[in-house]
Structure 1
Amino acid sequence: MGALTDYLADLPEPEQRALRHVTDLARRLAPDAEEGTSYGMPALRLGGRPLVGFTAAKGHLSLFPFSPAVVDAVRGDLEGFSLSKGTIRFGVDQPLPDAVVERVVALRRAELEG
């Protein structure tokens, strides 16, 4: 098991299911990514660099693309979601659209491989 798998296993069922869905989408787009940590959070890493990170906090879940440019690129598709420079927040009752997660991973992967 890896840091991300272990982290997800320790979450309550609703949060685990919601984050697992996002991580499964990310893994499909980056099957060569490895589990690890970045900035102290569970993450998928590509070529030793952070691709996307994931956390569960009280009241929300977060996807971290580690790139303000990636967050800005999907901002228009996330009306009603809480965003900051490097974080996309969502909830069990407000899941991220699959197309947005896929775009985040594709954009971040392009940054890392560019």
Structure 2
Amino acid sequence: MAKTNFKNIDEYHSSFSGDILKRMELTRKMINQIVPEAEEVISYQIPAFKIGKKFLLYYAGFPNHLSLSHPWSQDFLEHFKDELKDYKVSKSVIQIPNETEFPEEFVEKIIRFRREEMKETV
């Protein structure tokens, strides 16, 4: 990925192909379906979704994984502690390896959880 001045998510996606592109497109589609009021933006040169001035979720494609990111709350980390054991996780990033089946149901749960968290703060 050489280009770094993306203006929108379509431009970001155009720099990928294959399975990682499919994973990103699916993630985008799920966010748009679950949180239709979320605005698509580029932040830190990666796709992000926000409601008002607050960010719902970021994602990014890499050669070996798809990252989902946000400064995860302690409630989030506790709620998903069993499911997160399968992934490399930091306080703000979950790495989903490209060599594994895409965990669509888990990603959907993450999106729904973040939507509910945001309802408390928006």
Same fold (TM over 0.5): yes
Q: Following TM superposition, by how much is the alpha carbon of 1:57 offset from its aligned partner in structure 2, in angstroms?
A: 2.2
Counterparts of 1:87 and 1:4, CA distance in 2: 19
1:38-95 alpha-carbon deviations (Å, 9 max, x no partner) = 3442201112321110111232210113324324422311332111111110133224
Alignment partner, residue 89 of structure 1: 95
Question: Which residue identity lines up with residue 13 of structure 1 in the other structure?
Answer: G
Question: Which residue identity lines up with residue 51 of structure 1 in the other structure?
Answer: L
Secondary structure at 1:45's aligned position in 2? Answer: strand
The two structures, once aligned, show a CA RMSD in angstroms of 2.0
Q: What aligned pairs does 1:32-47 form with structure 2 within 5 A after superposition?
A: 32-47=37-52
Question: Which residue identity lines up with residue 107 of structure 2 in the other structure?
Answer: V
TM-score between the two structures when normalised by the length of structure 2:
0.78
Q: Following TM superposition, by how much is the alpha carbon of 1:5 offset from its aligned partner in structure 2, in angstroms?
A: 2.3
Query: Structure 1 segments of 4 or more deviating over 3 A?
Result: none
Report how many residues are paired: 113
1 or 2, which has the higher helix percentage? 1
Alignment partner, residue 73 of structure 1: 79
Q: What aligned pairs does 1:22-37 form with structure 2 within 5 A after superposition?
A: 22-37=27-42
- Aligned-pair identity (%): 22
